[in-house]
Structure 1
Amino acid sequence: MLDKINTRKALYEIAWRKPISRIVEEYGVTYRDFKKLCDDNQIPLPENGYWSKLKFGKPVVRVELPIGISENIKIELRVSKQAKEIQNVKSKFKNPRQIHPLVVKTKKYLINTNSYRASVFQAQHPKNLEILPIQTDSKLQKRALSFMNLLLSHMEERGMSIVFEYQGCYAELYNQTIKINLRQKYHRVKILDELSWPYQEYVKSEKLEFQIGSHAPKNWLDTNRRIIEERIPEILDNVEENLTYWRDIRKQQAIDEEKRRILEEKEKDIAREKALEQEKKTELFINAKNWKKAKNLRKYIKRVEEKESVNNQFDAKTIEWINWANEKADEIDPLT
């Protein structure tokens, strides 16, 4: 049963009773959140090496709780859903009554092939076959299938699903995916040959290792204290956190892309307006220039007409020229 922490004094006592690594694991909180809670309430924490010294009987100093704030001030350190699930793993994580169709399909494949019997480094996930990625020897195969059945059951309870793409198996949530893999853990051992030349050999263990991610995958490995079946809540929390992160990232990317598109459209509209304004301005200056030319041209035609009249040379040829000249003036006059 976890200690109830609802006061500053209780938080101080638990912080000096066990290492933070155990506290955050038991209560299902992050180191950062626990540290911040202590900082906000002026809770001193053991210095580095405190627990090692205490273990070996060396003298240690326990820093007293500062009196600046009441030790009975109300605070709350909630046990996360994940921590509660881990505490009740034996009763909560019984195998589902039904075997998942993907587990049935994978089991049938494993029985009919030797691909997964070899070492992890020889075993390759079959291409274009929608089966679960299990890489174990026959001894661990039954447990591996059982783990996958349990995992898939709780994935579906959380709204997750399995998809096969890029020749791999992926967990899917919020239209985001992350690669998953289950394998038998192999250890690299240094061995000397007959001539005392060193070489490395991979020795299989009896432990299962679950991985998520393609590059620098995150791993969960059987330990002496806990098997990976007990860590399914933690695994799925991590999967959900990862996929939520990428959903939010891509959602923000879509928002940013839409903002960029709108900005580009505005810039194009501004550019079009500027071009139109420049076009109108150029047309205005040309029209004004042509109007002035037409005006001067008509003045000139009038003077020619007056001169021909004075000289009594106003004949049909002159009339024809005057009409032609006026047509040319009209052609360049923007007001006609």
Structure 2
Amino acid sequence: MNPDVLVMVLIMSSDVEKMIDRQMLYEEVWNEPVSVVALRYGLSDVGLAKICRSLVIPLPSRGYWAKISSGREMKRVPLSPLAEGRAMPSLKKSTSDQISEHIEAKNEVKKIRQEITTKVVLSDEIAELHPLVKMASKRLRQRDAWPTDTNLRCASGEVLNLSVTPVSLDRALHIVDALLKAFEANSITAHIDSNKEITLLRDENLKIEMSFSLIEQVKRTLHEETPSEKKALQRYRDSFRFGRQAEYPHIPKYDYQATGLFTIQIGHWPSRKWNDTPKSTLETRLGEVVADTLVLAKETHAKAIEDARREDERQRAKQHYEFLVARREEEISRLKNLELQAENWKRAEFLREYAAAVEQRSLLNGVLDREAVEWLLWARAKADSLDPLVPVSDPILDAPEPQRRGFW
């Protein structure tokens, strides 16, 4: 079938699988916003948009639906043909229950954002700063808080995980101060893990922790040697001619310039990031950061429960596997012991038959003397010691092996 016509997308409607063609997917994203269509496939807006781009399905531009709702007539971008041999993705439409869950999750996020009543205030008074912010302010103003060759100040093993340039330090401290106070009003506290050198936010209600960091982006450029650096380098080279080596001058490879653009990241997996943008700074979105952090805490808690469930399943599967392995090894050991006992019984019977044959021959020859009788007793005793059905042991062969001693 022509790939321009059909895209392999499975739709679960009741219990019947149907096919949807590429044209139909194009109609869907132009009849409703991508966010609505994405719910039907259990995808995010970005995920569905990537699939549409891979299928060369054009999407409405930003503001398209706002103009439509205001009554304007908008033109669609036509659907172009798809190249021959293009691989088709396979998707499954979400059930009505799954769509409802997605909608409820989005509504819960909106509800949490609306319920944030804490007013995030930027304080200019040092005395009013959060204790952890005061500690960071004191530590990061010290000269030894500088890492080498980055122009960023950081001491994440001692104070809050801030990595900013000196000119941006005050702004970073005030942003974090406002956030920590807003977090505490919503039962989220902060502390420093010195061993891991990270800052952790702890949700006291859910009993989970999330990492926190504020990092400034810096611009890196190749360093151009200054006249003084060139002279120092020349002195180092000249020192070899006079037989005494001077210390090699430290000349950085790159220069780092402050940008004043911050990134706040909370959590590892799952996580959230907020960046300064040309249209909005972090100061104007601190309420959003606090609200989204509360949502992230719930997601992290749900993931922790799911991880614990999977770990429990893994442990139970491991225990069951170890039980099966141990049972199999025990059965193999018992079988080997059985085979050994059967082999010993067979050897014992063989020795008895041989002893009986020797005795019969001696009687026929009339030479069953005392020595022959003693040998027959010895041979039958050995057979009895081998026989697992006779509860006797050999006093010599079954005794412990002699230990060699030093005689000289």
TM-score between the two structures when normalised by the length of structure 2:
0.49
Assess if the C-alpha contact under 8 Å between 1:133 and 1:169 holds in 2.
no
Unaligned residue ranges in structure 1 (runs of 5+): 1-19, 21-30, 38-46, 63-74, 190-200
Corresponding position: 1:102 with 2:102: no
Matches within 5 A, 1:85-164: 85=116, 92-94=119-121, 98-109=128-139, 122-126=151-155, 128-131=157-160, 133=162, 135=164, 142-156=170-184, 157-164=186-193
Give the Cα separation in 2 of the matches to 1:59 and 1:50: 15
User: Could you tell me the percent identity over the aligned residues?
Assistant: 19
Corresponding position: 1:48 with 2:60: yes
Assess if the C-alpha contact under 8 Å between 1:171 and 1:180 holds in 2.
no
Deviation of residue 286 (structure 1)? 3.1
Report the RMSD for the aligned CA atoms in angstroms. Answer: 4.8
Deviation of residue 102 (structure 1)? 1.6
Assess if the C-alpha contact under 8 Å between 1:182 and 1:211 holds in 2.
yes
Deviation of residue 169 (structure 1)? 3.9
The one-letter amino acid of 1:146's match is H
Unaligned residue ranges in structure 2 (runs of 5+): 1-32, 41-58, 76-102, 222-254, 391-408
Matches within 5 A, 1:251-330: 251-330=305-384
Give the Cα separation in 1 of the matches to 2:321 and 2:144: 62
Give the Cα separation in 2 of the matches to 1:241 and 1:258: 26
Give the Cα separation in 2 of the matches to 1:279 and 1:248: 46
Aligned with 1:231 (options 285, 288, 307): 285
Deviation of residue 49 (structure 1)? 4.7
Change in CA separation of 1:155 and 1:252 when aligned onto 2, cut-off 3 Å: same
Assess if the C-alpha contact under 8 Å between 1:99 and 1:149 holds in 2.
yes
The one-letter amino acid of 1:209's match is F
Deviation of residue 279 (structure 1)? 2.6
Give the Cα separation in 2 of the matches to 1:320 and 1:230: 109
Matches within 5 A, 1:57-68: 60=73
Change in CA separation of 1:129 and 1:280 when aligned onto 2, cut-off 3 Å: closer
Q: Where does residue 178 of structure 1 map in the other structure?
A: 211
The one-letter amino acid of 1:48's match is P
The one-letter amino acid of 1:101's match is P
Assess if the C-alpha contact under 8 Å between 1:180 and 1:213 holds in 2.
yes
Assess if the C-alpha contact under 8 Å between 1:211 and 1:219 holds in 2.
yes
Q: Where does residue 44 of structure 1 map in the other structure?
A: none
Q: Where does residue 80 of structure 1 map in the other structure?
A: 111
Aligned with 2:273 (options 218, 233, 242): 218
How many pairs are equivalent? Answer: 266
Give the Cα separation in 2 of the matches to 1:61 and 1:187: 42
Deviation of residue 108 (structure 1)? 3.3
1:32-74 deviation digits (Å, cap 9, x = unpaired): 479759xxxxxxxxx825946959x995169xxxxxxxxxxxx
The one-letter amino acid of 2:322's match is K
Give the Cα separation in 2 of the matches to 1:133 and 1:301: 93
Give the Cα separation in 1 of the matches to 2:120 and 2:266: 24
Equivalent position SS for 1:160: strand
1:240-299 deviation digits (Å, cap 9, x = unpaired): 444554554455444434433333333233222222222322332332333233334334
Give the Cα separation in 1 of the matches to 2:144 and 2:387: 93
Deviation of residue 314 (structure 1)? 2.7
1:108-127 deviation digits (Å, cap 9, x = unpaired): 345655979xxx95223146
TM-score between the two structures when normalised by the length of structure 1:
0.58
Assess if the C-alpha contact under 8 Å between 2:113 and 2:288 holds in 1.
yes
Equivalent position SS for 1:80: helix
Equivalent position SS for 1:232: helix
